A and B are shown apart, each in its own frame.
Chain A
Amino acid sequence: MDRIQLAFRWVLLSFLLVGVGVASADEANQTWGQLTESQRQVLNPLASEWDTLRPWQREKMLDIARDYPKMSPEKQGLVKKRLTNWSRMTPYERENARKRHQQFKALPDDKKRELRQKWNEYQKLPESERAKLRAESPETYGDSGIE
């Protein structure tokens, strides 16, 4: 009797966990029209390409929409502005960006300021020169830039 009861509890728990997983997968398969109004507002820059995104890409974007209301209006503006470029980056580039962002957060304030300044200077370089720098750089992302 105890074994039956124990098995029943495990089966019930498994059903619940599977249910949570299925609900999460369903969310990632939603088309643009199926998103909520608040999700559409945040992800508006991606409206035209949303239905072409892969489920795992949509899932990441929906995570951004979920965290968006917790941010200040200034940061919300930055997210909207940068969202399109972010969605066009490859998974490899995004993963590296996440790692570098973690390193950047750990830097002291003066180093962060210095890097912001250098990024602005880098942006002023001609596109041809930046392309050349990219082409000459190895595929792997080193840690030298943010240290």
Chain B
Amino acid sequence: MNMHKDNMTNTKNTNLIDDSVISDPVMEEQIARGISDLLNNRAQHLKPELEQRLSAARNAAVNHLAEQQAQYSTANQVAGHGHVLRWFGHAGQNFEQHRVASTALIVVVMLLTFFAVQQFGSTHNLENSDAFLLASDLPPEAYADKGFDAWIESN
């Protein structure tokens, strides 16, 4: 009964507060304590239905936060598979999910690299191929003839 009286007094006091009082830091702190006490007192006497609703709202908020954290963690795991994919942002994440396409792309890149190296090698060795030896200023017999070597030395 006394507590109810206190609450009533607090309520009256709160109603009496004007802007000039709030601007005083000491008074502001006292008012804040009063509000806090009032809320605590009222919280002790909530109706069961209200407590149930508050509990459900709290659980919903916590579940929502947990879901958000799980999504963030999954996104980081995807990026962790290859930092290159992160450069593509969301497209990169989608790409990681398409593992077949990812594998195919890697194989295609490897093949292109292989053929590019082959092509470069063949162009580079073109002047050293047997065809160019045959078309050389001297016939192949001249390069292979031991007697020619000996004759040059003796002359």
Contact = CB atoms under 8 A, between A and B. Distances in A.
Interface string B122-155: 0000111111111111111111111111111101
Nearest to A102: B128
A146 to B, nearest CB: 8
A97 B151 contact: no
A17 B134 CA distance: 31
A70 B126 contact: yes
A38 interface: no
Contacts of A2: 81
Contacts of A93: 144
State the main secondary structure of chain B at its contact with A: helix
A123 to B, nearest CB: 9
Contact of A119 (B114, B131, B138): B138
A78 to B, nearest CB: 5
A13 interface: yes
Interface in A5-19: 5, 8-9, 12-13, 16-17
Nearest to A135: B147
B152 A144 contact: yes
Query: Looking at chain B, what size class is its interface with the partner chain?
Result: 35 or more
A34 interface: no
Interface residues of A, number: 55
Interface of B: 81, 99, 103, 106-107, 110-111, 114, 126-153, 155
Counting from the closest, the 6 A-B pairs by CB-CB distance are A133-B147, A75-B135, A145-B149, A134-B147, A67-B131, A137-B146
21 contacts: A9-B106, A13-B110, A17-B114, A63-B130, A64-B129, A68-B131, A71-B131, A75-B132, A78-B135, A85-B141, A96-B143, A96-B144, A98-B128, A100-B143, A104-B136, A118-B148, A133-B148, A134-B145, A134-B147, A139-B146, A145-B152
